[in-house]
Amino acid sequence: MAEPVTPLREWLLQRAEDGTAATLPANLARAFEADDPSLLPVFVAHAWQEHLQSQVSRGLRDVRRAEQQRMEAAFHAQLGLDAEDDGELALQLGRAVDRRLMACRCFLQLTAQPMPDGLRWFRLEIRDRPPGPGGLQETVQLVTVASDTQARAIREAIHEVLKARGFQAGGEQGLFRLEGPQLGSLVAILKRLALPEPEAVLAPAF
């Protein structure tokens, strides 16, 4: 009965003179019969490990290539591209536009500010980049919006309603006081306004 072909045995047979186990050197024949790489000579075992690593790397490359092809096909379908249309140009245009639009984006940060009386007041701040860690203020919600103009419009609209409802602070400009249910409503609205992440298919392929 023929020995079953395993990855190790298949690799060893490539080193046989006529491609059969009968012509393997004795030290390789023992590893072949036992299907055990620990029986290989040191220099052959090292080559076996390099072969395994190469196979894994090739597999990962194949998976990445297949995923990229799947995303490109989905992108073509989404744009309604025909088979003869220049899909590569469409991808390059999409990536270039995404990069420029990303540069226009800014961040609307809802922070909590502790006060000497133990209460927490809140503030909406506009930033051109995500805030770094640290600081006395606690970030309650951070959302990405399309532009500074949009961020200002959102903040002004929120302040108008809060002032009309009596939540706007009379002292320091921009501060307001909300309880849990009202804070939850504000956070929900901010999340709804947040821009989604760009389509993965427009990300550069590696």
Higher pLDDT pick, 111 / 79: 111
CB 121 within 8 A of CB 100: no
Calpha distance 161→165 (Å, rounded): 6
Q: Is 206 part of any domain? A: no
Calpha distance 164→166 (Å, rounded): 6
Tell me: do 111 and 189 sit in the same domain. yes
Task: Give the pLDDT score at 187.
Answer: 93
Q: Is 50 part of any domain? A: yes
Calpha distance 18→31 (Å, rounded): 18
pLDDT at residue 63 tops 90: no
Q: Is 2 part of any domain? A: no
Whose tokens are 């019969």? That residue is 33
- Tens digit of each residue's pLDDT (9 = 90 or more) over 113-124: 877 777 788 999
Q: Which two tokens stand for residue 192?
A: 């709804």
Q: Is 115 part of any domain? A: yes
Tell me: do 96 and 109 sit in the same domain. no
Neighbours of 190 (CB within 10 A): 20
What's the length of the chain? 206
Domain, as residue range, for 74 = 46-100
- Tens digit of each residue's pLDDT (9 = 90 or more) over 127-139: 988 877 766 678 9
Q: Is 199 part of any domain? A: no
pLDDT at residue 206 tops 80: no
Calpha distance 83→76 (Å, rounded): 9
CB 190 within 8 A of CB 139: no
Distances (CA, A) of 202 to 62, 72, 78: 20, 9, 12
Q: Is 155 part of any domain? A: yes
Whose tokens are 């991808």? That residue is 91
